[in-house]
Structure formats: C-alpha cells, structure tokens
Chains A and B, each alone.
Chain A
Amino acid sequence: MSDTFIHIENVIKRFGARAAVNNVTLDIGRGEFFSLLGPSGCGKTTLLRMLGGFAQPDSGRILIDAEDVTTLPPNRRPTNMVFQSYAIFPHLTVGENIGYGLRRQKLETSERDRRVDDALALIRLDGFGARRATELSGGERQRVALARALVMRPKVLLLDEPLGALDKRLREAMQVELRQIQRRLGITFVFVTHDQEEALSMSDRIGVMSGGRILQIAGPKMLYDAPNCREVAEFVGTMNLLPALVTGVSGGNVKVQSPVFGAFETVTAEPERYNAGQKILIALRPEKFEVVRAASSPHAIRGTLTAVSYLGDRHQFQITVENAEKPLLAGTHFDRSMDGAPFRSGEEIYVQWNPNEVVLLPKT
C-alpha cells in the first residue's frame, strides 16, 4: 500500500442491539483495488454504505483524502457507488442515466454529450445512448451502472457485489474488464464480494470480514498462504485443519507435536503468538500434499485412498489416515503416480509434506 487514501477508524454501526459493523479500523491506499470479503450478513454492505454516506457510524470516523467525511451526505462526498441492484432509473434512457449526475454540474451540452459518449465507449456500449433502460440485459445494466458512476470522475468507486447477478462466463469476463478499467483510470476501488475466488483474482488487498469485524487484511497470496486464523483459513480456499500441540519455541522456530503429522519443527513469522504446551491448529492446503506409492521423505503419512474426484483442472483425493477425525484432502494435477499407473480408490498410499509449508493457527 502506498499512501493512505481512505482511513476508517474504530467505526461501529448498530442496528438495534446488534453491531453490524463492530469496531473496524482500516486503511486503503490511493489507487488501490481493495476488496471486502466475507459471508452474507457479515456487514460488508453496511461498511460500504458508510463510505458512500448512506449510513452514519454510531461512533468512529471516516477520512477520505485527508478530509473527515463521517457525517457528509452522499452528494457531498468524492465517492460514487455501483449498487447491488444497479438502480438504473427505469424512466430514463441509457444516455440520460449516464448523464444524470452531469446535469447538476454546469457543463456545456456538447461537453456533457461527449463525456456520456466516452463513458459508453469505455463500457463498450457505443450507440446505446438512446436505448430505454428497461431494454437492457443484466450484463448491460451492470455496465451502465458502472459508467454512470465513473462519468462523475469519483476519487473512490464503491461496488457492492456488482457481479453477483451475472452468469459465470460474463462474471469472469467482467472481472478482467473491471480490473483493466481500474488500472487505466487509477481510481481507488472498494469492492464488496462474498466470492473468495473473485476477491483473490481481482484485488490488490483483501479485508476478510466476519460478524462485523475485520479478521485479516492482506494481499491475495498472503491471505491464501498465511491465513491468520481458523475462519480465514476455512473461508478462503480449501484447507486441511488438524489439532496439534506446541512443544517448544526457539527464535522463529516452533516445535509441534501432531497425532497425524507426528513431531516436526517449522518457521513462523509470529513466534510470539505461541508457547510450549499451547494447543493449536495446523493447516495445510490440499495442493501442498504430494501423493506417492513409496515414501521418499521423512514427512510422509500412510493412508488409504477413499475417493478420487475429478475437478476439471485437477484431481482431488480423499485420504483416510490414522488419528484424524476427517479424511485429508490432497489436490494434484495428475491422477497417476510417477510409475504411470493411475491411483485407485482403496489403494494404500503415502502423502508427503513440507514442514515449512505448514501454517500454524492459534486455537480460538
């Protein structure tokens, strides 16, 4: 993150007794593509609405470009919003929708028309200006909502699950396009989604929310490789989670004893979170396991292959091992071992792993 552009400080918003947003502190950089990720009902929309001025925090403050906007109404903020329902005015044409906000500014008609045409070109709907808003498809409505907000040249664009109503192919195409538009215009995007793949593929950084709180703020790779708690590990991607015991801490190294993984030593960035005798969770992504017929590493677990599923771009194995409540999940691109024979369900195999790829999580 370069310099702080949006500063959210101890923001709380209650509905009745429940806090929909519970003491969130968050900085977003200039020109950053920042995503708020979390399950439905975790407070993403409420936080976004406070950025846009549609709701006021009960306490805390919000700064945009060093200006305190906490109590400013939406029409006096340097933000624009792409609504989840798009809110395209049904009684206006596409051109009138996009030019809606420009009417207020004292622009020459020709300048206004030019900016509307530019916006239509940006979303590749040239010539749609005279179309009635009610004659648009879902994807077109989404683009018009985007253009209507961008034509205002906001400092910050707020997007509330803008791709949620689109089918998979259109959604993926729009993910790429949104990202390109954001790069080209250099506007700060705050993007709300409950789709972790979408957040991972588009964002510079992601804030994972749950129950009104921010659990972790990190770039996509960091979030995936080093989740900081169980909820993030479970929400982002697939994760094998197993109980373990800390047996010793020295420097950045932690000694761990696990019923399944045995005793091993690993590095951690935050050794101060652990001490000997502490019960923790260890986490490992399915693709970090290597499935083999003959163990070639000291870190190998014997197990029985109980299910093989084909996921299109890879295979997922379910492996039942001793002392584990649930089967381990292992993902691989190939369904066969080095000797060329495909793995079969029911076969005895080994999964090998690397201690330094194991993620430690405090037990909560």
Chain B
Amino acid sequence: MTAARGLLRHGLTVYAVCYLSFLYVPLFLLPLFSFNDSIFIAFPLSGFTTKWYVQMFQDDAMHRALWNTVKVGVMASLVSTILGLFAARALTRYAMPGRSVVLGFATLPLFIPDIVLGISLLILMTSVGIPLSLVSVALGHVMLCLPFAIAVLLSRFEGFDRSYEEASLDLGENGWMTFWRVTFPLVLPGIVSSLLLTFIVSFDDFLIAFFLSGTEPTLPVYIWAQLRFPFQLPGVLALGAAILLGSCTVVVIAEWIRSWGVKGETHSHIAGI
C-alpha cells in the first residue's frame, strides 16, 4: 500500500519534471545559443560571444520591423481595449435579452483559426479597397484582440458594485464625472491588464500580419523572412531572447497589477456583506 503510494508519488514527480522540461528547455536553448560563437545551432557550444546582440542592434531593417510591431500593437491594444470597455459595461450594466448571444459572438473569434481569419480579412480588405499596410494589420489585430479585452474587462465589471456609482450620483456628481472619479479608477487595473494582454497578442501574431501587411513587415514576419538565410539565424536567436525577456517582464507586471486590483476587490466584498 505505502509502496504503491510511494511509486505513484515517484511517478508524478517524474511526470512533472518531464512536463516542465518539455515546456521550458526549448526556451532555455534560445538564450543559450544566442551567446554561442557559431552560426550553427549545434552542440558542443563553441564559445561565448555577444556579437549577435551587437549585430541585432545594428540591423536597421530589424529596427524598422520592431517599430512597426510596436505601432500596430499600440493601436490594436488601445482600440480593442476601448471597444472592450464599452462592450463589458453594456453587457454587465443592462439586463439585455440577448446577452449570452452577444457575448458568444464577441468571443467567437477566439475559436476561429487565425489562418481563416487572416484569409477572410485579406479578401475583405482587397474587395473593400483598403490598401494593405500597417493600418490593415492593426484592424485585423483589433478583431483578434477584442475577445481578450472583453474577457479581461468583463471579469472586472462583474465584480463591480453598482452602489459605488449610485453613491457618487447621490453626492451630487453627474454621470460623466462619476465615470471619471469612480468607475474608471476602479476598473483601471482591468484596463491596464487588457492593454498589456492585447499588446502581447498583437505583438505575437504572425499569420494575420503575414496576410495583411504590405511592404512593411512586422517583427514576426521579418523574423520568418530572415530564417531563409542561415547566417542570420544567430541574430534571430538574440532577438528571440530579447523578446522573451521583454514578454516575461510584461507578464509579471500584468500579474502584479491584477493582484493589486484583486486586493481592492476583496475589501469591497467585505464591505458588501
């Protein structure tokens, strides 16, 4: 009995180790080889170098692609978060008859394969006559990001006690000032995490950007193009390592903001009994 349990526990440990290695070892290989002094991605390592990073910092085309991605990401995250704000507020505030249907349609893009989305948007853009550019990419990304924004903001609004707004009106404020003095600060953590999350989603997207970008590539499209040239590969690794560090930082910040928001929420729940 105890032996069996011991074996089970042992088995679980092995499973956990395998699982985590499978997830994270590839990620560790990226920074590892980005410091390796060879254009071949193979063991044994040939020596330490930072020249790939230097090369990366000097690559103008890469800079432009990064800048494109940031522009698209900022546009997409701002627009989708603002639209998500309206949607989440309407969905929680008013007892709409078709609430679940609306919610279903709003989050459906999560389940449509990106390639289908990308091709449909390409057809739409060309038939409507919108030229392929960073704007068309951003438009596509708004569609991609909106479900994430709604999901994050909806959870924030659902825990929101209506009597805060009523108290503000009662104390003489009008609807608009009530929004700025009460509603907005209380949902701010949700807005910030929505901005960060949608930015990452946009930053990360390859397929839609691939279909919708014209002559100006975003970073993932640029990286994909570089992979055809073997000598560029270590530079791409350096770039990948830098992106990895950047997104980890963003995720930590987003999580920190979320937990900060949740703390306030718990207090307001105590007040609400």
**A interface residues, Cβ below 8 angstroms from B:** 52-54, 73-75, 79-81, 83-91, 100-101, 104-105, 134, 138, 141, 148-149, 152, 165
Whole-angstrom CA separation of A148 from B177 in the bound complex: 18
Contact of A83 among B167, B173, B185 (CB under 8 A): B167
Verify B271–A85 contact, CB threshold 8 A. Answer: yes
Verify B172–A105 contact, CB threshold 8 A. Answer: yes
Verify A81–B267 contact, CB threshold 8 A. Answer: no
The interface-forming segment of B96-104, B139-147, B158-166 is B158-166
Verify A86–B271 contact, CB threshold 8 A. Answer: yes
**Given the complex, which residues of B lie within 8 Å of A79, measured CB to CB?**
170
Q: Is the interface of A mostly helix, strand, loop or mixed?
A: loop
**Given the complex, which residues of A lie within 8 Å of B272, measured CB to CB?**
85
- What is the number of residues of chain B that contact chain A, defined by CB distance less than 8 Å? 24
**Given the complex, which residues of A lie within 8 Å of B185, measured CB to CB?**
91
Cβ of B119 < 8 Å from any Cβ of A?
Answer: no
Q: Is the interface of B mostly helix, strand, loop or mixed?
A: helix
**Given the complex, which residues of A lie within 8 Å of B171, measured CB to CB?**
75, 80, 100-101, 104, 148-149, 152
The B148-192 residues at the A interface (CB cut-off 8 A) are: 161, 163-164, 166-174, 177, 181-182, 185-186
Can you list 28 residue pairs at the A/B interface with Cβ under 8 Å? A73-B169, A74-B166, A74-B170, A75-B169, A75-B170, A75-B171, A75-B172, A80-B170, A81-B166, A83-B167, A87-B161, A88-B271, A89-B164, A89-B167, A89-B168, A89-B182, A89-B186, A90-B268, A91-B186, A100-B168, A100-B171, A100-B181, A101-B171, A104-B177, A134-B267, A141-B271, A148-B167, A165-B273
**Given the complex, which residues of B lie within 8 Å of A85, measured CB to CB?**
161, 163, 271-273
Whole-angstrom CA separation of A152 from B270 in the bound complex: 26
Cβ of B264 < 8 Å from any Cβ of A?
Answer: yes
**Given the complex, which residues of B lie within 8 Å of A100, measured CB to CB?**
168, 171, 173, 181
> Given A54-B166, A89-B182, are A75 and B271 neighbors across the interface (CB < 8 Å)?
no
Verify B163–A83 contact, CB threshold 8 A. Answer: yes
Whole-angstrom CA separation of A148 from B172 in the bound complex: 12
Verify B172–A152 contact, CB threshold 8 A. Answer: yes
